[in-house]
């Protein structure tokens, strides 16, 4: 049950270093807007994965779930990605005067943006980002560090403290997800507004975290670790992925349908860009890989708990979340979709770096929270 040291991966290190060199070259060679769009995309992607994983941990404590105790250590480890997210997010603030119209001097003369000048301006934008990152580290300290310490102390008081903090983290998660959605994504088109855009990003964040957690659980089980985790636990993970696939589609369609029906120029322009030319193809592809395919992949009871099927669905959802972030950010640059060596370099650097971090984190503490008094009950879980 103890965590094992993971050996370094030369392929991952090679991808990370090659990607890092490409990112430096992109900084010097490509237009600033394209460079910063890539940086913002990967910052939001990493942040949604980190905060979403911590949401899974807090949710278990909040509802006092027992079935998930045996697999809780995996999202706890993934949530430590919030540590490198901090410097990535601070550097991303360099994108604000380049990509975000509300932070530019000419915004003061815009009839809509002038009234939002204080909110959209760089100082308050930066302050909100720093606060959001600090709140993430606070949640990480209280929920993950305490759980790791419990491996040694066997102190059941941690469960009570975590359960008391869990409602506060839900408020933190709602605030941070809303800030990520409104500041870092819809802020690229500040004339556009959607009341449920934060909920849309929440659904994607939770799906991404569930998918990555499922992939690591299946990987560790393949290595002979996580003994006692069985098909019933996997079924619940598959059930959550299936349910939130439908929820994501519902929120996305509801947002589109209401704006289509109202037909207000400041709302439909956001969709008009994404429903023309090559972007229309990506929009249809996003609907297929983020909803249609995983829906039918997981719709039956047996499919949800079958490891190979769950792995396929998790990989598909992770790719769909990446496509979703691209679809949200890149149309704001205008023109056709961009994908060449700069985008590949960012994928290798940030994707490879995130995998290296998570691979190293899989040796943090025990593979299961052995100090948790409810672990035995979690291992005995049956549907």
Q: How confident is the model at residue 102 (pLDDT cuts 50, 70, 90)?
A: confident
Predicted pLDDT at 263: 87
pLDDT band, residue 3 (cuts 50/70/90)? low
Which residue has tokens 């990446």? 322
2 backbone dihedrals φ, ψ, rounded to 5°:
-75, 155
% of the chain exceeding 70 in pLDDT? 98
Of 242, 208, 187, nearest to 55 (Cα)? 208
Count of beta carbons in the 10 Å neighbourhood of residue 369: 24
Q: Cβ(79)–Cβ(140) under 8 Å?
A: yes
Interval 43-66 mean pLDDT: 96
Six-digit token string for 208: 């991404």
**Which uninterrupted H or E stretch holds 127?**
helix 122-139
Nearest Cα residue to 251 out of 296, 304, 210, 206:
206
Question: What DSSP letter does each residue of 197-225 carry, written as one string?
Answer: HHHHHHHHHHHHHHHHHHHHHHHHHHTT-
b/e string for 208-221 if b means 16 or more Cβ within 10 A? bbbbbbbbbbbebb
Q: For Cα atoms 24, 29, 30, give the angle at the middle one, nearest 5 degrees.
A: 100
pLDDT in tens, 184-200: 999 999 888 888 999 99
pLDDT in tens, 229-259: 999 999 999 999 999 999 999 999 999 998 9
For residue 26, give every residue at least 6 positions away whose Cβ sits within 8 Å of its Cβ, in sequence order, or none. 34, 35, 38, 341, 342, 345, 346
**Cβ(375)–Cβ(69) below 8 Å:** yes
Cross-strand bridge partners of residue 2: 366
Predicted local confidence at residue 7, as pLDDT: 59
Q: Going by C-beta distance under 8 Å and a sequence separation of 6 or more, which residues neighbour residue 129?
A: 89, 90, 92, 93, 179, 183
Per-residue pLDDT band at 114 (split at 50, 70, 90): confident
Q: Read off the tokens for 246.
A: 């439908």
pLDDT > 90 fraction of the chain, expressed in percent and rounded: 82
- Under the phi-then-psi rule, with left for phi > 0, alpha for psi from -120 to 50, and beta for the rest, what region is 108? alpha
Cα dist. 224→114, 177, 218, 220 in Å? 59, 36, 10, 7
CA gap 50, 81 in Å, rounded: 5
CA neighbours closer than 13 Å in the CB half-sphere of residue 84: 19
Range name among 114-128, 162-176, 284-298 with the lowest pLDDT average? 114-128
How far does the chain reach from its first CA to its final CA, in angstroms? Answer: 23
């Amino acid at each position: 049950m103890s965590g094992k040291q993971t050996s370094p991966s030369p392929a991952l290190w090679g991808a990370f270093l090659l990607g890092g060199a490409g990112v430096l070259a992109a900084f010097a060679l490509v237009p600033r807007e394209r460079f910063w769009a890539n940086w913002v995309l990967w910052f939001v992607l990493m942040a949604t994965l980190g905060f979403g994983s911590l949401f899974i941990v807090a949710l278990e404590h909040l509802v006092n779930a027992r079935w998930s105790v045996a697999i809780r250590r995996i999202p706890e480890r993934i949530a430590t990605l919030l540590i490198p997210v901090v410097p990535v997010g601070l550097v991303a603030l360099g994108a604000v005067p380049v990509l975000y119209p509300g932070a530019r001097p000419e915004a003061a003369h815009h009839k809509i943006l002038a009234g939002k000048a204080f909110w959209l301006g760089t100082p308050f934008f930066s302050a909100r980002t720093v606060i959001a990152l600090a709140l993430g580290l606070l949640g990480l300290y209280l929920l993950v560090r305490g759980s790791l310490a419990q491996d040694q102390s066997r102190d059941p008081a941690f469960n009570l403290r975590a359960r008391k903090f869990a409602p506060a983290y839900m408020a933190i998660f709602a605030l941070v997800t809303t800030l990520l959605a409104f500041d870092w994504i819809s802020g690229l088109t500040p004339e556009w507004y959607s009341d449920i855009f934060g909920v849309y990003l929440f659904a994607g964040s939770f799906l991404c975290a569930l998918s990555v957690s499922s992939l690591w659980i299946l990987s560790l089980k393949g290595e002979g670790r996580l003994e006692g985790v069985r098909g019933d636990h996997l079924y619940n993970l598959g059930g959550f992925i299936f349910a939130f696939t439908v929820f994501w589609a519902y929120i996305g369609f509801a947002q589109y349908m209401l704006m289509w029906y109202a037909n207000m120029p400041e709302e439909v322009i956001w969709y008009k860009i994404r429903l023309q030319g090559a972007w229309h193809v990506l929009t249809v592809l996003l609907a297929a890989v983020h909803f249609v395919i995983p829906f039918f992949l997981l719709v039956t009871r047996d499919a949800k708990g079958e490891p190979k099927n769950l792995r396929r669905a998790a990989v598909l959802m992770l790719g769909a979340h990446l496509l979703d972030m691209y679809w949200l950010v890149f149309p704001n640059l205008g023109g056709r979709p961009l994908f060449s060596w700069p985008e590949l370099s960012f994928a290798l650097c940030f994707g490879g770096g995130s995998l290296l971090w998570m691979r190293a984190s899989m040796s943090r503490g025990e593979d299961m929270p052995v100090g948790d008094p409810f672990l035995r009950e979690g291992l005995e879980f049956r549907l």
